[in-house]
Amino acid sequence: MNETLELKLSLLPDSPGCYLMKSQGKIIYVGKAVNLKNRVRQYFHPSKNHTPKVRAMVEKIDDFDIMLVDGELEAFLLECNLIKLHMPRYNILLKDDKHYPYIRIDPREDFPKVELVRKMDRDGARYFGPYQGATVVREVMDVVRMVFPIRTCNRRIDPARPQRPCVHHQIGQCLAPCAGKVSSEEYRALIGRVMDFLGGKYAPVVDELTQRMQEASRAMNYERAALYRDRLRAVEAVMQKQKTLSTAQADQDVLAVAPYGADAIVELLMIRSGRLIDSEHFVFDGAAEDAPWEILTQFILQYYDKTNMPPQELLLSVDLPEKDVLEQLLTELHGRRVYLNHPMRGDKVKLVNMALKNLKDEAAKRDKQLARTRERTVLAMEELGKVLGLDKPPRRIEGYDISNTQGVLSVASMVVMIDGVCAHKEYRHFRIKTVEGPNDFASMKEVITRRLAHAAREFQERAAAGLPPEGGHFTDLPDLILIDGGRGQLNAALEAMGNSPYDIPMFGLAKRIEEIVLPYSDDSLLLDRHSNALHAIQRLRDEAHRFAITHHRALRGKQAVGSRLEAIPGVGPARRKALMKHFKTMEELKNASLEELEQVPSLPKNAAEAVFRALHPPETPPEKE
């Protein structure tokens, strides 16, 4: 412990507040305490009760700050805000910060709208939700508009100045309040039915649609009957997604927590008007050692805010020691009483058990996903190493491919797979410089030669500068090289390898029958089509081909536009370079307006006009017969 820590520990007050643990000037943990003196000192007392996570954190602490407040509630609020602001490494962090959408209706308006919003305000309007995503909201709103002829426009409605109704009125999807076709009282009565529907009262709508469909069918108006049938199916689809859990018409969130490996998962069930409308899970990295009540407390503090209001009741899988303070905080946030309950019996326990069941299901899914990922990566590399007779599974594999059009603008791609996963930041392009014409063998020899020469030069440069080999662009040599092609391409690559100071295993993959071509041998291998090793090298080969051909197409487009620029008077190499640097891509340059072209540095107005005319030639009128 340094002198700064010892001095600050001796000066800690017996007051409530927050403390900010620091390491090299960076905040690594934020906490709160009713008594800062007692709480902060506990971290620096040797204790077997400290978790490995706390011990690791304390070893890094070299300073701390405190912020004093008046009471426990203020400490809660301050801690929540500081965690969201600094995202400290050792805090329990909710990383999902998206705002959930709601459906908003303001019944006080003369002609209310049904709209999607991302924020729930205390403005007297009715809010329905939250929903898990905007897509779900739009599906519900589409059904509402299909069933109820409400307005969807943003027109300002003035009964004294009627407007011409739009096409929605003509097809029966709007009562046209803008044209004075319906009174305010009648329209608000319709909106009342919409709010009942969104609140989960589907039966009246289903009965009405069924009756209208049958009446239209008896009258042999089959077109109208089909319309009501489609609306009925849409309503039933919404009903199927929302399971009825309670007849109490309650708004509740059910929260359950469980450890998963080194992490912890929180399951959230959203119940609105007694119906389960959504469920979601949240993963807290490295939180398995934290107490379940602490994880739920941090989830509640970080999840609910002014844009995501809590419902009237939260049902919890564990009891919270600081429940009273949290209830007070949420009540102030929501504007009405919010209850935190840990039920022990009855229907509410069934809801908590349902959340725990969902947690187990999520854990099982994650186990299967991890097993599948392991098969595609670790086990695939082990299998590939055995198939090719390597001493150990390859960590880094590089794949190479050549792309050109009849030998023009030949390029090569180098793609990288590390531990069975594509490492996109390691990808490289090569322009073929010494080969003329469509000669893939010579091109492959050139690119392997250049890649290994780059590595040898970087090793020497870094050694001369006293730097470690790690960190260079080409100093991380592969354990294995994949050549996209057959015997000819592989032999060319082997020849390049022979002229270098390195001896790296390599093989080819022929596309016709996915045949593994072995070096210095006429033999080849055919792996089972379900082999994880085969799937891994196929992914790498396809990536090499995609990366090469994408770059080749970009060069062709650049050459085409560059050729057109060369023919423009007053646009020389320097100005062409300035154009390409400013617009980055050919597409951006071709789509640029004259005003945007005039913003290019070192391009005068007359040159910008010439470029614009060249890239946007006037259309030739058709010849008269």
Q: What is the pLDDT of residues 54-109, one digit of tens each?
A: 888 988 998 898 888 878 878 887 888 788 788 898 888 876 555 567 788 888 88
Burial of 7 (0-12, 13-18, 19+ CB in 10 A): exposed
Residue type, 375: E
On the CB side of 52, CA atoms within 13 Å amount to: 5
Q: Does 232 score more than 60 pLDDT?
A: yes
Q: Does 618 score more than 70 pLDDT?
A: no
Instruction: Indicate the pLDDT class of residue 619, thresholds 50, 70 and 90.
Output: low
Note the pLDDT tens digit of each residue in 527-571: 888 899 999 999 999 999 999 888 777 766 565 555 566 667 777
Q: Does 237 score more than 70 pLDDT?
A: no
Res 623: pLDDT: 44
Sign of CA dihedral 327, 332, 334, 335: positive
Could you tell me the domains of the chain? 3-86 (3.40.1440.10), 102-244 (no CATH), 252-364 (3.30.420), 396-542 (3.30.420.340), 567-615 (1.10.150.20)
Residue 465 DSSP code: T
Note the pLDDT tens digit of each residue in 157-178: 887 888 888 887 877 778 888 8
Cβ atoms of 266 and 281 closer than 8 Å: yes
Note the pLDDT tens digit of each residue in 389-401: 999 999 999 999 9
Burial 174-195 (b: 16+ CB within 10 A, else e): bbbbbbeebeeeebeebbebbb
Question: Average pLDDT, stretch 245-267?
Answer: 81
**Residue 462 token pair:** 């870094």
Instruction: Indicate the pLDDT class of residue 407, thresholds 50, 70 and 90.
Output: low
pLDDT, the chain, mean: 83
- The residue among 103, 151, 145 whose CA lies nearest residue 125 is 103
Residue with tokens 């229907």: 347
pTM over 0.85: no
Spatial distance between the Cα atoms of 136 and 127, rounded to a whole number of angstroms: 15
Q: Does 52 score more than 70 pLDDT?
A: yes
Share of the chain above pLDDT 90, in %: 25
For residue 379, is it left (φ>0), alpha (ψ between -120 and 50) or beta?
alpha
Identify the helix (H) or strand (E) that includes residue 136: helix 134-147
Residue type, 67: M
Residue with tokens 């029966």: 172
One DSSP character per residue, 86-109 reads H--TTS------PPPPEEEE-TTS
User: Which alpha helices (H) appear in 375-507, and where do they start and end?
Assistant: 380-387, 440-464, 487-498
- The residue among 279, 286, 274, 285 whose CA lies nearest residue 347 is 274
Residue predicted with more confidence, 164 or 416: 416
Residue 75 CB coordination number (10 Å): 23
Res 247: pLDDT: 43
Instruction: Indicate the pLDDT class of residue 403, thresholds 50, 70 and 90.
Output: confident
On the CB side of 118, CA atoms within 13 Å amount to: 6
Instruction: Indicate the pLDDT class of residue 130, thresholds 50, 70 and 90.
Output: low
Dihedral pair phi/psi, residue 616, rounded to 5°: -130, 65
One DSSP character per residue, 189-245 reads HHHHHHHHHHTT--HHHHHHHHHHHHHHHHTT-HHHHHHHHHHHHHHHHHHHHSEE-
Res 132: pLDDT: 58
Spatial distance between the Cα atoms of 177 and 361, rounded to a whole number of angstroms: 49
- 242 CA to centre of own chain: 26
Q: Which residues contact 171 (CB under 8 A, 6 or more apart)?
A: none
At 624, is the secondary structure helix, strand, or coil? coil
Question: Average pLDDT, stretch 420-430?
Answer: 92
Looking at 19-23, 125-129, 147-151, 423-427, which range is the least confident one?
125-129
Looking at 242-246, 251-255, 384-388, 560-564, which range is the least confident one?
242-246
Question: Average pLDDT, stretch 109-113?
Answer: 85
Looking at 283-287, 438-442, 578-582, 618-622, which range is the least confident one?
618-622
Residue with tokens 């943990």: 29
User: Which alpha helices (H) appear in 280-438, and where do they start and end?
Assistant: 292-303, 323-334, 347-374, 380-387
Burial of 151 (0-12, 13-18, 19+ CB in 10 A): buried
Work out whether strand 313-316 and strand 515-517 pair parallel, antiparallel, or are unpaired: unpaired
One DSSP character per residue, 256-267 reads EEEEETTEEEEE
Spatial distance between the Cα atoms of 586 and 580, rounded to a whole number of angstroms: 8
Res 624: pLDDT: 43
Spatial distance between the Cα atoms of 238 and 142, rounded to a whole number of angstroms: 11
Share of the chain above pLDDT 70, in %: 89
Note the pLDDT tens digit of each residue in 330-369: 888 777 889 999 999 888 898 898 889 888 888 888 888 8
- The residue among 150, 70, 65 whose CA lies nearest residue 109 is 150
Q: Does 203 score more than 50 pLDDT?
A: yes
Res 452: pLDDT: 95
Note the pLDDT tens digit of each residue in 568-588: 777 777 777 777 777 766 667
For residue 99, is it left (φ>0), alpha (ψ between -120 and 50) or beta?
beta
